[in-house]
Structure 1
Amino acid sequence: MEPTDSTARTPLTLVTGLDRTASARITLAMHAPGTATVSTDLRNLDSGTVVQVVHRIDADGVDHLSVDDVHLEHGCVSCTLRLSLIPLLQELHRDPSITQIVLALDPALEPEKIAQEIRSRAGDDLAIVDTVCGVDAGSWLTAATGEITLAEAGLSIGEDERTLAQIAVAQIRFADAIVIEGADSAGGAWELARLHSVLIRLAPAAGMRTLNSQQTLDAALLAGLRASETAASPHGRPRRPFDPLLAGQPALEEDCGVALMTFEASRPFHPERLHEALDVLLDGVVASQGRLWIASNPDDILWLESAGEALGIHHVGHWLAARPDGDADPEHRLAAALYWDQTHGDRHSSISVLCHRSTPEAVHAALTAALVTDAEFSRGPDFLADLPSPFGTGHQDPCDDFPVTDRDDRTYSTDNSEGETR
């Protein structure tokens, strides 16, 4: 179910971040009478359990603490959280002594996917008011630009090939408020300024506070931070493929070697040359995202997303020009009106790229060279659609993760270390 406008919904705040200690401090600062805090801990996955901690403070200020081991449902973390976490949150919603809920997520979880699940299954009971993300100043940027997997970092087990970079970037992009801790461990003023440059370009609409190791994160500071949130930040709303890529009006000028650029093209990518060009997004780039028009997939909207040295491309729908019924959401219709061409309709490519060692000029040149040439374009749509393509199709079990959008099950992924489709 989608959220309603009912005022009876219980406010819910998500707390996220790679640093477990920072998340704990944020959560502690939100403890108050009428608050219930739910924490998820995936560190016991190898024993087949997820630990859920519920800390309630009633109106009289009396603490109630419970710790439960929730057994994995057929070995699936997502199904376990879906079947145990959502009912627990709804139970707290029905408790008249609870006026707000704080959900502290394990570092391996992406808040957007949790929010999607809560909105779809408990939207009439819970209102996600904001997401607060904790950042360790000394380690975040290294994690967000690397190739270390969650399993290698000890945050997950088994065949989970997601990287710290993918999780770190996803957590920041979905944040309404960001707490940077340990500013004096960043390595110096320039390194801290560079971290700020990255964060304010990933989440330009979010409120932000920076603390050194001697400063305390308390309720007053956190309240001030949350008051600085803007209406343009997500506030629990999952992204859609046709949302503005530069939502929140991030700065485009270079700062401390960090620069945000956009790439726009009104002709398709050549599939093989795009495959070769993707390396430019895996070296010296913090993150990229955007819509792709690939010659061999003329009707498909493909969504590209990278973080550090990992990249994925997913099918997210069809161009409006390829839909006989013309059915599309308002964001898609608005974008179609902006990009419409009499011959190709709304087909286009639009990508934002956040560079920190690479340059916008190098990225732009590599992507431009991957577009079809005038000679190829002149041979017509049948020739373009028949071009050999390395972008195969593969199945992604819905149990592997919560869905972010109405994507189908096709995906292409690569990383800089292996350089292969899998």
Structure 2
Amino acid sequence: MSQDAQQGRFTARELRRGRFEISPADLRPALTLLTGFAPKATREAAELLTRADPGLLVVTYDLAELLDAGTVRRTVHDGRGLIEDERVTLEHGCINCTIREDLLPALVRLARARPASDLALVLPPSMEPEAVTTACGWCHVDGAPVSDALRIDSVVAVCDPATLLETLDSDQDLADRGLHAADDDTRSVSEVAARQIEFADTVLLWAPGSEPDYEHTRLSVLLQRLNPWARHLVLDMPEPSVSATLASRRLAQFSARIRRSGRFDPEAPEPYGRGIEGYAVGCHEPEPDCGVVATLYRARRPFHPQRFHQALPTLTGRTLRGRGHLWLAGQPDLIVAWESSGGGVSMGDMGRWLAATPDEEWEESSPERRVNADLHWDADFGDREIQLAFVGIHFEADELTAALDACLLTDAEVAEGTAAWREYPDPFEGCFESKERNQE
């Protein structure tokens, strides 16, 4: 939700999309997704929710035997005890098959069997919430859309302060921890953990029974910089020594802040693709707050591919996380997605810039993207633009900006034109699927 909306003022775009219109009561069971790279904390958060509402159905998946045996373990319980404990053998042992073949049918079955009960899905660390919400948006169960039986209410990232920094800074792959979802799963621990936080609409710092201190404050700032568009909460449940009345009241307050918030937005763009849709890709807070620094970088001209490639160790080594989009002079028609974490970088194809797209194909892009392009159109570059956001601890934002500026084309290089740019030495040549369609 935008800052204006939080303050009671709604933008024309939000009103046009009807996000704040009064609508009839939605009687479908609400699904809360609990995600995070701290499974113990995530399970404990679910248990607190069942204490507040014993009728809440909690669904949990164990993928430990997925690769070796093609088997997953699914458990379902509420506040009164265990309801189901099943091992399911899948035709193909992968996360996507788990979602399509078992997870969605199980959620729909439970929603139909107990329509008065909401559901909470506790995701294992390697299952990203975006995969689940995307599948819910297009999959059918028994010939009917999943959305006929239930609605996704909120995606909550649960973060453990004891492991958060180490996880975000890890240089390990999921496979190093035995958490990979397939033999060819090359995702990194830091990449998955960051995506879980960035995709969430609610971020919960799990610190039960602890006194507020500098470290918790620092981690709270870090989480807010990583996901400035989410609601941020810190668990502050009282110690067992407090009165039962106070404990019950605090428990109810915790549950009310997590569940039935209606914060999930199925139309929200991916975090690294927010810029082309007219959203901010992050926040600009270059002055350290508890040591946490966040900076936004924007430029109209492209990066020189060779200089940018040489700068990658500098860019990834100084920050915990980077995201956004960019363009390279050697491939001027292509939007390149950027993600960096744990000292590594991932770059991918996001399609063509509108400036390189035939007019008759513009309608295939979202209205928000077309409006954003019109508002910021450049006479030389069209809608081409670099937007990158970086977050880290104790790095100099000015030095990072200078390193990125040094990668941009100079005035003399810009004057050479795109035909000359395409001849530049390009370490990224062949890295993107759309390379061939960029040739003139």
- TM-score, with length taken from structure 1: 0.82
Matched residue, 1:197 = 221
- Residue by residue, what CA displacement relative to the aligned partner does 1:130-177 show, whole Å, maximum 9, x if unpaired? 112221111111110221222222333644322221121111112233
Maintained 8 Å contact 1:304/1:313: yes
1:346 alignment partner, one of 383, 387, 393: 383
How far did 1:24 drift? 0.9
1:172 alignment partner, one of 194, 197, 202: 197
Matched residue, 2:352 = 318
For 2:99, the aligned partner's letter is: L
Q: Relative to structure 1, is the Cα distance of residues 250 and 175 closer, same or farther in structure 2, using a 3 angstrom cutoff?
A: farther
Maintained 8 Å contact 2:95/2:127: no
Matched residue, 2:59 = 38
Matched residue, 2:416 = 379
Question: Rg bigger for which structure?
Answer: 2
Question: Are 1:284 and 2:318 matched, yes or no?
Answer: yes
2:335 alignment partner, one of 301, 307, 312: 301
Q: Distance in 1 between matches of 2:208 and 2:117?
A: 34
How far did 1:27 drift? 1.2
2:75 alignment partner, one of 31, 43, 53: 53
For 1:42, the aligned partner's letter is: L
- Report which stretch shifted further, 386-395 or 92-101: 386-395
Q: Distance in 1 between matches of 2:434 and 2:416?
A: 32
Question: Are 1:259 and 2:293 matched, yes or no?
Answer: yes
SS at match of 1:151: helix
How far did 1:275 drift? 1.2
Maintained 8 Å contact 1:269/1:294: yes
How far did 1:213 drift? 9.7
Maintained 8 Å contact 2:72/2:89: yes
Q: Distance in 2 between matches of 1:228 and 1:118?
A: 18
SS at match of 2:73: strand
Maintained 8 Å contact 1:8/1:125: no
Q: Relative to structure 1, is the Cα distance of residues 87 and 264 closer, same or farther in structure 2, using a 3 angstrom cutoff?
A: same
Q: Distance in 1 between matches of 2:47 and 2:209?
A: 22
How far did 1:359 drift? 1.6
Q: Distance in 2 between matches of 1:234 and 1:409?
A: 32
For 1:239, the aligned partner's letter is: P
Q: Distance in 2 between matches of 1:213 and 1:34?
A: 23
Matched residue, 1:26 = 45
How far did 1:386 drift? 2.5
How far did 1:287 drift? 1.0
How far did 1:226 drift? 2.6
Question: Are 1:140 and 2:164 matched, yes or no?
Answer: yes
Q: Distance in 2 between matches of 1:114 and 1:228?
A: 18
Maintained 8 Å contact 2:237/2:251: no
How far did 1:28 drift? 1.4
How far did 1:346 drift? 0.6
- Residue by residue, what CA displacement relative to the aligned partner does 1:394-415 show, whole Å, maximum 9, x if unpaired? 69xxxxxxxxxxxx799xxxxx
Q: Distance in 2 between matches of 1:136 and 1:27?
A: 14
RMSD (CA atoms): 3.1
More helix by share: 2
Identity, in percent, stands at 32
For 1:282, the aligned partner's letter is: T
Which ranges of structure 1 fall in alignment gaps of 5 or more residues?
Answer: 396-407, 411-422
Q: Relative to structure 1, is the Cα distance of residues 189 and 292 closer, same or farther in structure 2, using a 3 angstrom cutoff?
A: same
Matched residue, 1:225 = 257
- Residue by residue, what CA displacement relative to the aligned partner does 1:2-37 show, whole Å, maximum 9, x if unpaired? xxx993543111011111111111111222354322
Q: Distance in 1 between matches of 2:289 and 2:227?
A: 16
- TM-score, with length taken from structure 2: 0.79
For 1:280, the aligned partner's letter is: T
Question: Are 1:268 and 2:302 matched, yes or no?
Answer: yes
Matched residue, 1:106 = 124
SS at match of 1:70: strand
- Residue by residue, what CA displacement relative to the aligned partner does 1:56-102 show, whole Å, maximum 9, x if unpaired? 57xxxx65511111224333232232221112222223224443111
Q: Distance in 2 between matches of 1:13 and 1:228?
A: 8
For 1:161, the aligned partner's letter is: T
Question: Are 1:367 and 2:375 matched, yes or no?
Answer: no
2:231 alignment partner, one of 192, 206, 209: 206
- Residue by residue, what CA displacement relative to the aligned partner does 1:371-422 show, whole Å, maximum 9, x if unpaired? 1111111111111123232224469xxxxxxxxxxxx799xxxxxxxxxxxx
How far did 1:201 drift? 1.1
Q: Relative to structure 1, is the Cα distance of residues 244 and 323 closer, same or farther in structure 2, using a 3 angstrom cutoff?
A: closer
Q: Distance in 2 between matches of 1:254 and 1:146?
A: 22
- Report which stretch shifted further, 158-167 or 13-22: 158-167
Moved over 6 A (4+): 183-186, 215-218, 247-250
**Structure with the larger RCO, 1 or 2 (CA within 8 Å, 6+ apart):** 1
Matched residue, 2:188 = 163
Matched residue, 2:33 = 14
Matched residue, 1:131 = 155
Matched residue, 2:92 = 74
For 1:164, the aligned partner's letter is: V
Q: Distance in 2 between matches of 1:283 and 1:248?
A: 19
Q: Relative to structure 1, is the Cα distance of residues 225 and 357 closer, same or farther in structure 2, using a 3 angstrom cutoff?
A: same
Q: Relative to structure 1, is the Cα distance of residues 374 and 250 closer, same or farther in structure 2, using a 3 angstrom cutoff?
A: closer
- Report which stretch shifted further, 150-159 or 277-286: 150-159
For 2:60, the aligned partner's letter is: S
Q: Distance in 1 between matches of 2:189 and 2:44?
A: 21
1:336 alignment partner, one of 373, 384, 393: 373
SS at match of 2:331: coil
For 1:38, the aligned partner's letter is: V
Q: How many residues align?
A: 388
Q: Relative to structure 1, is the Cα distance of residues 117 and 97 closer, same or farther in structure 2, using a 3 angstrom cutoff?
A: closer
Q: Distance in 1 between matches of 2:186 and 2:303?
A: 27
